[in-house]
């Protein structure tokens, strides 16, 4: 097993790990080492999307660095984004080569670019001699086949990508099916740059199993597991964590703070409830009876209904945190 302290990053989620979420999460749970923005498709302007433009000005939340992410297949656009981020003070940007959704992948963007090493080479050769920031990459093993990444790694090595995060699935799998550690093992043999693992770490036991098999990898990016159990990074790092009843009180405080922050930032617009429901779709798996918990939250349409349901859930249901069995079922049903 890996003896180094694990380094843990919060995975980006469009619509969930927003500015408000990152700010609030890092205040209540300061144990991750990097936060990523959900992807930008270009440089946001004050006129086009003022809040997205302003969010990019934030370099860290509660002392945890924020890495801006770009989804693009255009070296010029990426350079423009990198220059803009650099001017704001960022020192790293992340290139999204993992997005699996067909509307993105069919245009050879995100994971849709993985079968095309010639495109990746063209972009890196146009970008890397001028880029003022580090460039890290988040990708999958491939779009159609897990061998696709093997043609890309020599490029990532050659162009000194600062960190390579690999989600150990294919684009066509979306988030379903098992993660492929056999193919990941081949990646480990080829990379000469720091490697970050991503995929299905839902509990500290999952991390330990992973770490026993891949003792050379101490950096992990965690998504759904952390959205479900906000204590997961502390648990993996071996920090002392309160008992389940006290955890529930802290999770409740965090969710209240997040809800009030959203109401403030969104001027009490009712779409706050939709945003909170997205989060509850994950958090519910930290409770003993996820189906009932989410059923209760899902039906809310007003602030009063939401507040009553949340109070009921925290009063009536037991918090179990990162229960690997429940979460695995959930992971495969996304």
Ligand X SMILES: Cc1cc2nc3c(=O)[nH]c(=O)nc-3n(C[C@H](O)[C@H](O)[C@H](O)COP(=O)(O)O)c2cc1C
Q: In angstroms, give the least distance from the CB of 11 to ligand X.
A: 3
- The verdict on 314 binding ligand X (CB under 6 A) reads no
Two structure tokens written together for 235: 């648990």
CB 322 within 8 A of CB 225: yes
Per CB under 6 A, contacts with ligand X among 168-207 are 175, 198-201
Among 2, 7, 13, 193, interactor with ligand X by CB under 6 A: 13
- Select from 8-16, 114-122, 235-243, 300-308 the region that touches ligand X (CB under 6 A): 8-16
Per CB under 6 A, contacts with ligand X among 204-263 are 222-225
Query: CB count, 10 Å around CB of 154?
Result: 14
Cβ proximity to ligand X, 11 vs 127, nearer residue? 11
Burial of 106 (0-12, 13-18, 19+ CB in 10 A): exposed
Per CB under 6 A, contacts with ligand X among 33-92 are 38-39, 69
Q: In angstroms, give the least distance from the CB of 193 to ligand X.
A: 18
Cβ proximity to ligand X, 11 vs 184, nearer residue? 11
d(CA 288, CA 322): 11
Among 44, 98, 146, 321, interactor with ligand X by CB under 6 A: 98
Residues near ligand X (CB under 6 A): 11-14, 38-39, 69, 96, 98, 138, 167, 175, 198-201, 222-225, 334
């Amino acid at each position: 097993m890996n003896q180094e302290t694990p380094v843990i990053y919060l995975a980006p989620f469009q619509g969930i790990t927003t500015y408000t979420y990152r700010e609030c999460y890092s205040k209540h749970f300061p144990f991750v080492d990097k936060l990523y923005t959900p992807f930008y498709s270009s440089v946001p302007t004050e006129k086009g999307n003022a809040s997205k433009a302003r969010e990019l000005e934030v370099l860290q939340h509660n002392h945890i660095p924020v890495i801006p992410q770009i989804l693009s297949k255009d070296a010029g656009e990426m350079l423009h984004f990198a220059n803009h981020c650099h001017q704001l003070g960022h020192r790293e940007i992340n290139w999204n080569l993992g997005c699996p959704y067909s509307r993105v992948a069919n245009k050879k963007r995100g994971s849709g670019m993985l079968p095309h090493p010639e495109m990746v080479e063209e972009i890196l050769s146009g970008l890397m001699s001028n880029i003022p920031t580090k460039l890290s990459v988040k990708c999958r093993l491939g779009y159609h086949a897990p061998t696709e990444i093997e043609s890309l790694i020599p490029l990532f090595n050659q162009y000194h990508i600062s960190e390579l995060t690999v989600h150990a699935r294919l684009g066509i799998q979306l988030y379903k099916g098992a993660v492929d550690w056999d193919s990941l093992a081949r990646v480990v043999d080829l990379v000469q740059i720091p490697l970050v693992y991503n995929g299905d770490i839902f509990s500290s036991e999952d991390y330990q199993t992973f770490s026993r098999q891949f003792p050379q990898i101490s950096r992990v990016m965690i998504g759904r597991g952390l959205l479900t159990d906000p204590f997961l990074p502390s648990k993996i790092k071996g920090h002392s964590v309160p008992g389940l009843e006290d955890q529930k009180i802290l999770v409740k405080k965090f969710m209240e703070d997040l809800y009030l922050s959203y109401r403030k930032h969104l001027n009490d617009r009712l779409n706050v409830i939709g945003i909170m429901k997205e989060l509850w779709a994950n958090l519910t798996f930290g409770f003993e009876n996820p189906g009932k918990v989410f059923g209760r939250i899902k039906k809310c349409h007003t602030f009063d209904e939401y507040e009553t349901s949340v109070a009921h859930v925290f009063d009536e249901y037991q918090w179990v945190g990162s229960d690997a069995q429940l979460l695995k079922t959930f992971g495969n049903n996304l």
